[in-house]
């Protein structure tokens, strides 16, 4: 399995970024946090500073499994305004294997403005829908369509993360991770009610 990358810009939504990294690592999906700034230390939207694993400029992105975008403002805007990331996302979208996950404002502010979601079932933080250019907008916590797993906001971070695991390693692994995290009151529950 190839490495995945989550991108941190100043003003990122902390719960979205850290939840998905935590859950993917529990599922043994290799993921690195990438600062798009000149520093490994990136301040989130609520004043939580995170030390990224690598700097964007020092990282070779060779056939990534997932490119992952947390939301938050101005985090999502800062992601969109970083031209090298825009180019990487466009390459990932046109690659046969590469997949993209985004949450909160990021599906609209980043992917929508890049025109990557035309005809794709998509969700985002309420109020940003107009930026989902040509998308099939859904009133859903999480949407899965082709290479995209998108979610609507902070309270959906765990469901979004587990859906990425499900799309990568299957329902059995995602269910085990959810049960290990005590998502259900008893073990061996199915994810049907969680994933809709």
The pLDDT assigned to 183 comes to 85
pLDDT at 103 over 80: yes
| 128, pLDDT greater than 80 | yes
Which domains can be identified in the chain, with CATH numbers? 4-170 (3.40.50.880)
Average of per-residue pLDDT across 8-18? 98
Stated pTM of the model: 0.94
Mean pLDDT, residues 179-186 taken together: 79
End-to-end Cα, the chain, rounded Å: 27
Does pLDDT of 127 surpass 80?
yes
Mean pLDDT of 163-178: 96
Q: Which of 52-56, 93-97, 122-126, 192-196 has the lowest mean pLDDT?
A: 192-196
Locate all alpha helices (DSSP H) within the chain, ordered by sequence.
14-26, 75-81, 83-94, 106, 157-169, 171-180, 192-195
- Transcribe 25-60 into DSSP letters: HHTT--EEEEESSSSSEEEBTTS-EEE-SEEGGG--
pLDDT confidence of residue 185: 58
pLDDT score at 158: 97
Is the per-residue pLDDT at 189 higher than 60? Answer: no
Summarize the confidence of residues 86-111 as an average pLDDT: 97
- Given a contact cutoff of 8 angstroms between Cβ atoms, the answer to whether 157 and 151 are in contact is yes
Residue carrying the six token digits 């259900």 = 184
Task: Give the Cα separation of 12 and 63 in Å (integer).
Answer: 25
* Averaged pLDDT, 46-69: 97
Mean pLDDT value of segment 117-125? 98
Average pLDDT in the chain: 94
pLDDT score for 152: 98
> Is 124 a residue whose pLDDT tops 80?
yes
DSSP letter assigned to residue 110: I
């Amino acid at each position: 399995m190839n490495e995945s990358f989550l991108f941190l810009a100043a003003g990122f939504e902390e719960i979205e970024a850290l939840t998905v990294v935590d859950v993917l690592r529990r599922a043994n999906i290799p993921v690195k946090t990438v600062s798009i700034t000149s520093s490994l230390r990136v301040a989130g939207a609520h004043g939580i500073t995170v030390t990224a694993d690598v700097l964007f400029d020092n990282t070779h992105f060779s056939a990534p499994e997932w490119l992952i975008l947390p939301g938050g403002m101005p985090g999502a805007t800062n992601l969109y305004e970083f031209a090298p990331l825009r180019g990487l996302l466009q390459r990932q979208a046109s690659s046969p294997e590469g997949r993209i996950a985004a949450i909160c404002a990021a599906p609209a502010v980043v992917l929508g403005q890049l025109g990557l979601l035309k005809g794709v079932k998509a969700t985002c933080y309420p109020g940003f829908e107009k930026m989902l250019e040509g998308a099939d907008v859904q009133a859903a916590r999480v949407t899965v369509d082709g290479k995209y797993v998108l979610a609507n906001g902070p309270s959906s971070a765990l469901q979004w993360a587990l859906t990425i695991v499900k799309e990568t390693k299957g329902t059995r692994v995602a269910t085990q991770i959810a049960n290990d995290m005590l998502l259900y009151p008893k073990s061996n529950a199915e994810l049907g009610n969680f994933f809709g």
